[in-house]
Chains A and B, each alone.
Chain A
Amino acid sequence: MNTTVTQDLSLLYLISSASLPVQLVMGLLLFISFISWWFIFRKLFVIRRAIKQCDEFEEIFWRGADLNTLYQRAANARHSTGSMERIFEAGFREFAKHQSDADISAVMDGTRRAMRATYQREMDKLESHLSFLATVGSVSPYIGLFGTVWGIMNSFRSLANVTQATISHVAPGIAEALIATAMGLFAAIPAVIAYNRYASDVDQLATRFESFMDELSNVLQRRAAE
Chain B
Amino acid sequence: MSAMVLRNSSYDEPGYFLAGVLAILIHVFFVAFMVFGLDWKTQPPEGMIVDLWSDLPQQAEPSPPIPQKMEPSKPTPTPTPRPIQAEPLPPRIKPSSPPPPTKPEIAREAETEKLKPVKEELPIQEVKKEREKEREKEKEREKEREKEKEKEREKEREKVEAERLQREQALQQKREQEALTQQREARQAAAQARMANEVDKYKAMILAKIRSRIIMPPDLPGNPTVEYRVTLLPGGDILEVSLRKSSGFAVFDSAVERAIFLSKPLPLPPDPALFSQFRNLSITVHYRE
Contact = CB atoms under 8 A, between A and B. Distances in A.
B24 interface: yes
Interface stretch (A17-25, A29-37, A65-73, A98-106): A29-37
Given A38-B19, A79-B7, A45 B13 contact: yes
**Most chain-B Cβ atoms within 10 A of its Cβ — which of A8, A41, A186?**
A41
A197 interface: no
Interface stretch (B38-46, B132-140, B242-250, B260-268): B38-46
Contact of B40 (A11, A34, A49): A11
Contacts of B4: 121
Interface stretch (B27-35, B50-58, B172-180): B27-35
A157 interface: no
Contacts of A35: 23
A7 interface: yes
A166 interface: no
Contacts of B218: none
B26 interface: yes
Contact of A6 (B12, B14, B16, B42): B42
A37 B15 CA distance: 13
A79 B14 contact: no
A9 interface: yes
Interface string A163-192: 000000000000000000000001000000
A46 interface: yes
Which interface class (under 10, 10 to 19, 20 to 34, 35 or more) fits B?
20 to 34
Contacts of A207: none
Interface string A80-118: 000000000000000000000000000000000000000
B7 A78 contact: yes
A12 interface: yes
B41 A38 contact: no
B23 A34 contact: yes
Contacts of B8: 121, 125
Contact of A79 (B10, B18, B19, B26): B10
A30 B27 contact: yes
A7 B18 contact: no
B40 to A, nearest CB: 5
A35 B38 CA distance: 26
A17 to B, nearest CB: 13
A208 interface: no
B289 to A, nearest CB: 55
Nearest to A125: B11
A42 B35 CA distance: 28
A151 B15 CA distance: 39
B129 to A, nearest CB: 82
Contacts of B13: 42, 45-46
B88 to A, nearest CB: 68
B44 A5 contact: yes
Contacts of B30: 186
Contacts of B41: 6, 8-10
A34 B16 contact: no
B204 interface: no
Contact of A7 (B27, B35, B42): B42
Nearest to A175: B40
Contacts of B26: 37
A5 B45 CA distance: 10
Nearest to A80: B12
A33 B34 CA distance: 16
Contacts of A121: 4, 8
B26 to A, nearest CB: 6
Interface of B: 4, 7-8, 10-16, 18-20, 22-24, 26-27, 30, 34-35, 38, 40-42, 44
29 contacts: A5-B42, A5-B44, A6-B44, A7-B42, A8-B41, A9-B42, A10-B35, A11-B35, A11-B40, A34-B23, A34-B27, A37-B22, A37-B27, A38-B20, A38-B23, A40-B19, A41-B18, A42-B15, A42-B16, A45-B13, A45-B14, A45-B15, A45-B18, A46-B14, A79-B10, A79-B12, A121-B4, A125-B8, A125-B11
Given A11-B40, A186-B30, 20 more contacts: A5-B42, A6-B44, A7-B42, A8-B40, A9-B41, A10-B35, A10-B40, A10-B41, A34-B23, A37-B22, A37-B23, A38-B23, A39-B19, A40-B19, A40-B23, A41-B15, A41-B23, A45-B14, A45-B19, A79-B10
